[in-house]
Amino acid sequence: MFISVNTSSIPKTFKGSTLIIPAISVGNVGQLACDLLIATLDVEKVGYFCSPCFLPIVGNNPFASSLQAENSNTPCLSSEVYYSSTSNLAVVQLRSPLVKGKQSEFRSHLLKWMKECEFAELIILSSCHAFERSDEQLIGAPFRYLISPAHKDAKQCISQLSWKEMEERAVGYGDRSLFLPGGGYTKKLFQACCEAEVPCVVLLLFCAEGNNIPEAMSIVDHLNQWKHYIDEKTKKWTSPPSWAYLFGNMPPSGIF
């Protein structure tokens, strides 16, 4: 599943580190948030999470700039792994959707890899459809979180923050269940972590499709309140060079 960039030195320092992964969800908020983490923190690409569950893609290096000519031609694949020993975290960036019917297989691959590498915790960055919010969810900020029962350390830390836990929705005769519309594999992966007793935290926002950079900024700000990856007073999140092309070129003046 994991293929190192340098096959002679597969990273063994994943042990005890945090694994961050985006959900392929509405507005691509999780993936945009991972872009911010990779562009801002001292991370390097250490390999690829090669799973047949994702559609294959190849593109230009989204983090290359004029100051990094030596890696400007490095290809970008559908699932890449970045690691920072300074921040003690690994970030898996996903750039293509899951193959239909492969969600269960993907969960198995991910949890198996986590166990093999002895990651300390999993953080899922996700989003949900804003138009599906219930009446009680319309009050306050659109940010929500979920914590698996096995992650007692996170529960203690997050309880000191002014965050709101994701509400369950009434289903059937008085039963309540998680309802994460537009969240992709978020719900089932979180439930799998709960069943496997994997320490897991989900950070998500209600949003709509469009320019979702503000939501990505918001979700990493919340993550930073907990993990303190950057100094909020002296440093800001860095946008990757590829974001200059998110919406294409300006329309030609001749059409007006």
pLDDT above 60 for 149? yes
How far apart (Å, rounded) are the C-alpha atoms in residues 187 and 184?
Answer: 8
DSSP code per residue over 162-215:
---BPPPEEETTTEEE---TT-TTHHHHHHHHHHTT--EEEEEEEE-SS--HHH
Q: What is the pLDDT of residue 206?
A: 95
> Measuring CA to CA, which residue among 58, 72, 82 is closest to residue 4?
82
Q: What is the pTM of this model?
A: 0.91
Q: What is the pLDDT of residue 50?
A: 82
pLDDT above 70 for 69? no
If one compares 164 and 67, the residue with the highest pLDDT of the two is 164
Residue boundaries of the structural domains of the chain = 14-43+98-244
User: What is the homologous superfamily of the domain 14-43+98-244 according to CATH?
Assistant: PAC-like subunit (3.40.50.10900)
The token pair at 218 is 């918001």
pLDDT over 70, % of the chain: 93
183 and 230 Cβ atoms separated by less than 8 Å: no
38 and 240 Cβ atoms separated by less than 8 Å: yes
User: Could you tell me whether strands 79-84 and 58-59 are parallel, antiparallel, or unpaired per DSSP bridges?
Assistant: unpaired
Q: pLDDT tens digits, residue range 194-231?
A: 999 999 999 999 999 989 999 999 999 999 999 999 99
Q: Residue 241: which pLDDT band, with cuts at 50, 70 and 90?
A: confident
